[in-house]
Structure 1
Amino acid sequence: MFRFIRPTLNEFIDLLFPQLCFGCDKPLEFSEKVLCTPCRINLPETGHHCEPYDQNLLNKFAGKVPIQFLASYLYFNKGGIVQKLIHGIKYKGYKEAAKEIASWYGHQLKLENRFVKDIDVILGVPLHKSRLQQRGYNQADWIADGLAESLGIPFRTDVLIRQQFKASQTHKNRLERWENVKTVFAVVDKESIKGKHVLVVDDVLTTGATLEACAQELLKAGCGAVSVITLAVAGK
């Protein structure tokens, strides 16, 4: 009996306090999550997963670290819907939104990209424990978890750690970002990734320095290949 009451109560709560679309602030329908259908349809998708060797993306890594597959789901433009989403995910506690949006991309990848079939394990770019305590969650882990569930691939949080706390990367150029993070990460469970294809996940791809540093440590620890997926990348 109670299993029939629960959805009714949830629908009643939604009726009194409707969830709003992140994009246009209109109330969501019962079947919608995070974004209303028009806003979701109009998301600025990159289509990178259809062209896994996109040179503009790979140039960010400048050949320092071999990356098997690299893609971002959405274009990030100043003042746009994706900036609003990322800001909410990163600073306002909307971690469930991160997982939901990542699951959308995961389902797309499963249908349209052959490279993800070879991935053995998914990792989020880790936060330092002091930053994690301050924020209360790691947005990259929630994105990674959404991808992992939709793709049916194991997700781990106990393989890669951030062993040093560093200042924000926001106002640094590419070289400064690389110098800031090149010795920050460490692999604490080498056996779990030995010879495996590891997917590293983050929220936004900027210069790629943080992701390079993660990939470098994973490859040094013996993993077979590293791929990278982010929720967003700077727009054209």
Structure 2
Amino acid sequence: MFQFIQHCISDFIDLLFPDLCVGCDQLLNTSEKYICSHCRMNLPETGHHREPYDQILLNKFAGKVPIQFIASYVYFTKGSSVQKIIHQIKYKGQKEAAKEIARWYGYLLKSESKAVEAIDVVISVPLHKSRLQQRGYNQADWIAEGLAEALEIPVCKDVVIRNQFKESQTNKNRLERWENVKSAFSVLNSESVLDKHVAIVDDVLTTGATIEACATELLKAGCRSVSVLTLAVAGR
């Protein structure tokens, strides 16, 4: 009887708050989680993990900071389902979706990329404590958790902190983004990353200024090498 009541309550909640796809807002069926089959099948995958030393991406950091390899799961373009998904993850509390999608990517990387075998630890790009309090979570943390789980690599938390509360990077060019973040990060507990290959994780790779600033501090702290993994990369 109790189980029947629980089932009825669950059905009632589902009726009031149905599970919708974070990419298209359509109802999910019972076998789908966070993203409908149509949106998942049509994700514009980059295939970067098959060419992790792609010079087009590495050139974002050329002459600035040495990055071993870069891989992003999907392309981000304005008006796309990926933009909708990232928006839902970043601003609408869909952190579990971030972890699930990152887990998909992690399994793909593990099965098809030799490059990720060199990674020792995963570190997410941090938010300033004021932004974290405002938003309630850091989407990069959840992405890092999903990737690390699939790759079976530890996540190093509370190693990199964001010193300054900076305005949004949106609509800034590369120089403006760099000026906005050039002294934004510090490394604590440097022994956690000493002589290790660190994968820096974020949601979207655009100009690379934020990751560059983060990587610079990690290398100063004694990291052996740094690579970059993101859910999406701007452009195509």
TM-score norm. by structure 2 comes to 0.93
- Compared CA separation, residues 5 and 133, structure 1 to 2 (3 A): same
Match of 1:115 in 2: 115
Deviates more, 1:43-52 or 1:168-177: 168-177
Aligned equivalents of 1:154 and 1:141: distance in 2? 12
Distance in 2, Cα, partners of 1:7 & 1:40: 31
Deviation digits for residues 149-179 of structure 1 (CA, Å, limit 9, x no counterpart) = 1111111221110011111111321112112
Inter-partner Cα distance in structure 2 for 1:68 and 1:19? 39
| Moved segments of 4+, more than 6 Å | 4-7
C-alpha contact 1:11 1:30 (8 A) present in aligned 2: no
Query: For the structure 1 residues 171 and 34, does the alpha-carbon distance in structure 2 shift closer, same or farther, using more than 3 Å as the test?
Result: same
Amino acid at match of 2:118: D
Aligned match of 1:68: 68
Name the Cα RMSD after superposition.
2.0
Q: In the alignment, what sits opposite 2:178?
A: 178
Does 61-70 or 105-114 show the bigger shift?
61-70
Show CA shifts across 1:165-220 (max 9, x none): 11111132111211221111111011010000101001111100000011110001
Matches within 5 A, 1:96-135: 96-135=96-135
- Give the 3-state SS of the residue equivalent to 1:61 in structure 2: coil
Q: What is the aligned residue count?
A: 234
Q: Which runs of 5+ in 2 are unaligned?
A: none
**Where does residue 51 of structure 1 map in the other structure?**
51
| Residue identity in the other structure for 2:211 | L
How does the TM-score come out when normalised to structure 1?
A: 0.93
Deviations for 1:74-124, whole angstroms, at most 9, x for unmatched residues? 101110000000111111111111111111100000100011111111111
Report the 3-state secondary structure (helix = DSSP H, G, I; strand = E; otherwise coil) of the residue aligned with 2:177.
Answer: helix
Query: 1:35 and 1:14, CA in 2 relative to 1: closer, same or farther beyond 3 A?
Result: farther
Tell me the distance in 1 between the aligned counterparts of 2:12 and 2:112.
Answer: 37
Residue 210 in structure 1 maps to residue 201 in structure 2: no
Query: Unpaired runs of 5+ in structure 1?
Result: none
